A and B are shown apart, each in its own frame.
Chain A
Amino acid sequence: MYVAVKGGERAIRNAHRLLADKRRGPRNLPDITLEQIATQLALSVDRIMSEGSLYDRDLAALAMKQARGDLIDAIFLVHAYRTITPRFGFSEPLDTSKMRVERRVSATFKDLPGGQLLGPTFDYTHRLLDPTLEGAEIDEAARAEVTDEDRPMPRVTDLLGHEELIEDDGEAQEGVEIGDLTREPLSFPADRDLRLQALARGDEGFLLGLGYSTQRGYSRTHPFVGEIRIGTVDVEVEIPELGFTVSIGEIQVTECRMVTQFKGSAKAPPQFTRGYGLVFDQSERKAMAMSLVDRALRAREFGEDVVAPAQDEEFVLSHSDNVQSTGFLEHLKLPHYVDFQAELDFVRRMRHEYEDRAAQENKEAAE
């Protein structure tokens, strides 16, 4: 039997109204603008774009405002928007070697060609709350002449490539269908294309925890940051009617190449292997975590034993989507009255049986 329960419409309506009122906050304060959110809370907006898997600053800022700053709810809103928006096609693969770099650091080579550029980083800040920040006059950024050495920026991993001490990227395969988890349900084993897609939109906190676990010995890979770069890349699409590709604008991405040890196997000589992270906008922590988890998930490829959660693709990919996770977790608070009644009934019956049995045993013992 299914019992439909009605009621609560007024409560829901008023709850929504209360939410809107709280979202607006005290009316003597100015309403926060989307431009302010997009520019002054930029890294939160970046995270919404990355985990919402949709690059659109204005929509992400709107989602953030609508969700009262709850990032997972904002990401949920962006996911929902994405699912009802038509997809016109695909871009050409982004060419990160042509990135206009705004930050680039390497922890493995001090004097790499093109140099190290810190960009707008929190690194080396004191992490002490600054009470003078509110309302403070802020100096404009410093400027320095761009010299010729700024131009060529080979990828760090290419520097060791010619000695074959580090694995190469592998070939771009022509004509191979690229997995898309927004169109086909995930199935396992999942290839690296699907894994990278899932990680790129995965929850930063989840990936951070997994990445950290590999550092603490749950599938040790001894990682080094080969290179992190942040900057803008061109987006190119082919216009079939014209028969050529057109650059339609640019987006900011963060790329991390993690270099990890590999002691070799019967088939492969010892060399450095790599994990890769590519994330929308400025999301360095996530790009680093992604590259650690990408490397851990390549266990099968390198013939390594799968002994840790970060190496288990079913575990990682099934739990990395925070909209999925929050949906299933939060549904627990919705009415389960009938379910619970059934369980209650069941526990009562078991309890009776238990008590009857105990009484029977007591009786037998007494006799």
Chain B
Amino acid sequence: MTRQEAMGVLARANREELHDALDAWPEPPQSEALRGPEAGMIMLRGRAGGGGASFNLGEVTMARATVRLSTGEVGFSCVLGRDLEKAWLAALFDALWQSEAEAVDTRLLAGIRNRLDVEGRQTAVETAATRVNFFTMTRGEDE
């Protein structure tokens, strides 16, 4: 898993998952805030027709943070929503990931991925149940 992918999973964590993982972390990491956590928005872009020229669709709330561990790693987070604590914790785990990728993965990311899989699967099977199966009835006078 790349750092990019790990950050994507962290962005989908909920606050409790991050909290629990931090509480269970062997040595509480020492860190300082470099920027934020702060909440704001980003402008979402769409594409004309789906694949053409870009246009501004509307905004979405976002929180972000940048932290530095006492060991020097700088962690970033950008997450949808306005949860500053979540943004802070996600940045902290991004920083930790840089030196302890495996520990972050097994203690935190694996659990989040599982939950996301279950949720995605539920939507998929519910949607699949509404699939239309067309059949054509033969009509007319052919023998």
A interface residues with partner B (beta carbon < 8 Å): 49-50, 53-56, 58-59, 82, 85-94, 96-97, 100-103, 110-111, 115-121, 141-147, 150, 155, 157, 168-173, 176, 178-182, 192-194, 196-197, 200-201, 235, 237, 239, 241-242, 244-251, 255, 257, 274, 276, 278, 280
Interface centre among B11, B48, B80 (most CB of A within 10 A): B48
B47 x A115 contact (CB < 8 A): no
Chain B residues, Cβ within 8 Å of A103: 127, 130
CA distance A40 to B127 in the complex (A): 19
Q: Does B43 contact A (CB under 8 A)?
A: yes
Chain A residues, Cβ within 8 Å of B134: 110-111, 116
Residue of chain B at shortest CB distance from A247: B8
Grouping DSSP codes into helix (H, G, I), strand (E, B) and loop, the A interface class, with mixed when no group exceeds half, is mixed
Chain B positions 60 through 89: 1 when the CB is less than 8 Å from some CB of chain A, otherwise 0: 111010100000000010111110000000
Q: Which of B8, B56, B121 contacts A179 (CB 8 A)?
A: B56
B129 x A169 contact (CB < 8 A): no
A118 x B57 contact (CB < 8 A): no
Chain B residues, Cβ within 8 Å of A178: 45, 53-56
A55 x B44 contact (CB < 8 A): yes
B42 x A237 contact (CB < 8 A): yes
B43 x A91 contact (CB < 8 A): yes
Q: Does B125 contact A (CB under 8 A)?
A: yes
Chain B residues, Cβ within 8 Å of A169: 47-52
Smallest Cβ distance from B55 to chain A, in angstroms? 4
A-B contact pairs, 17 of them (CB 8 A): A59-B82, A85-B40, A87-B41, A90-B45, A93-B45, A178-B55, A180-B43, A182-B56, A196-B48, A197-B55, A235-B44, A246-B11, A248-B80, A257-B50, A274-B49, A276-B48, A278-B50
B45 x A91 contact (CB < 8 A): yes
Given contact pairs A94-B44, A101-B127, A235-B44, A172 touches B53 in the complex (Cβ within 8 A): yes
Given contact pairs A100-B123, A143-B126, A56 touches B42 in the complex (Cβ within 8 A): no
B interface residues with partner A (beta carbon < 8 Å): 3-4, 7-8, 11-12, 38-62, 64, 66, 76, 78-82, 120-121, 123-132, 134
Q: Which of A96, A181, A201, A235 contacts B50 (CB 8 A)?
A: A96
* A-B pairs under 8 A by CB, number: 232
Q: Which of B41, B78, B82 contacts A239 (CB 8 A)?
A: B78
B79 x A192 contact (CB < 8 A): no
Residue of chain B at shortest CB distance from A91: B44
B59 x A87 contact (CB < 8 A): yes
A-B contacts besides A55-B60, A276-B50, 15 pairs, CB < 8 Å: A55-B44, A88-B78, A93-B46, A94-B45, A144-B129, A150-B128, A170-B48, A179-B55, A192-B53, A196-B55, A196-B57, A235-B42, A235-B80, A246-B8, A249-B11
A100 x B53 contact (CB < 8 A): no
Smallest Cβ distance from B4 to chain A, in angstroms? 5
Residue of chain A at shortest CB distance from B2: A244
Chain B residues, Cβ within 8 Å of A244: 4
B40 x A88 contact (CB < 8 A): yes
A117 x B60 contact (CB < 8 A): no
B131 x A144 contact (CB < 8 A): yes
B132 x A170 contact (CB < 8 A): no
Chain B residues, Cβ within 8 Å of A171: 52-53
Smallest Cβ distance from B66 to chain A, in angstroms? 8
Residue of chain B at shortest CB distance from A49: B58
CA distance A243 to B134 in the complex (A): 48
Chain A residues, Cβ within 8 Å of B47: 93-94, 96, 169, 172
CA distance A110 to B135 in the complex (A): 10
